[in-house]
Amino acid sequence: MDQENYEFLTEKLKYTGFEDKLNVPLKEAIKAKKESFTLGTTLEIEGKKMDVDLYFKQSAISDRYFFNKFDASLRNENPELEPKKHTFYQNQGVTAKEAFNLLEGRAVFKSLMDSEKEPYKAWLQLDLTKKEDNNNFQVNQYHEKYGFNLEKAVKKLPIKELKDDTRTDWMIRALQKGNTYPVVMERKGKDEVMFIEANPRFKSINVYDSNMNSVKTSELQKKDQKQAGEDVSDELSGKKKDLKKGEKAEIPEPTLSQSVGRGRKGPRI
């Protein structure tokens, strides 16, 4: 058995989220010297079960094996309904947890390579209503030029964790992996634990309360944003009072925090 090849594959499995639970059957399969083999396992994530089949194939010019892809099948809470299935290829670099998040309908931010081997970054999201000829869900990509800036979108919300750079970094990384992330925000004068997730398609953040009910972001407008609008209103009102009859008020240019941009609509995906 090629020990170096085995160790390389175990590291690959660990990075993908399978830890060491498949190391023993992997070693046995390599020793058997089959041209290809499949290893199956079941993961429990957030109280839900996902069945996974991992595919390995031997090189045509050596004894080395490669981990090419895995099929993920997320069981439905209602056993009478079909599970959600999708095949993830290793050139996408999707981990088991990210596969779970994608099958849950959330988006994941990945570094990818185009057909000319040029690197680029994009959000991936499965359209769970559309199947392609290979029985995979349609994969929508939202590239960096699409216009979704996660950091800016998060900073529009009164999230307490934003006061700490380390916690902010954890939050951004978690959202990029497609996780639903717990945060503390103020609503109606009280601090509440809420959950957020990235929504690149609509260039926004989804917000849920502690019971996972959707919360309108308009209810969570930052105090400084509200105050900025009030200050402009008070300033204009005061100027009008000081005007003599027939004079026109000079309306100040809005600052960045007061203005609302009208960006171009992003490309169709």
Main-chain dihedrals φ then ψ at residue 75, nearest 5 degrees:
-65, 140
Q: What is the pLDDT of residues 155-174, one digit of tens each?
A: 999 999 999 999 999 999 99
Main-chain dihedrals φ then ψ at residue 85, nearest 5 degrees:
-120, 145
Which residues share a beta bridge with 51?
A: 42, 73
Contact between 106 and 177 under an 8 Å Cβ cutoff? The reply is: no
- Closest by CA to 35, choosing from 10, 11, 64, is 64
Q: Tokens 């010019």 belong to which residue? A: 61
pTM of the shown model: 0.79
Mean pLDDT of 185-204: 93
- Please say whether the dihedral angle defined by the alpha carbons of residues 176, 123, 121 and 259, taken in this order, is positive or negative: negative
Q: Which pLDDT belongs to residue 222?
A: 56
Q: What is the pLDDT of residues 116-135, one digit of tens each?
A: 888 999 999 999 999 999 99
Q: Tokens 């079909």 belong to which residue? A: 82
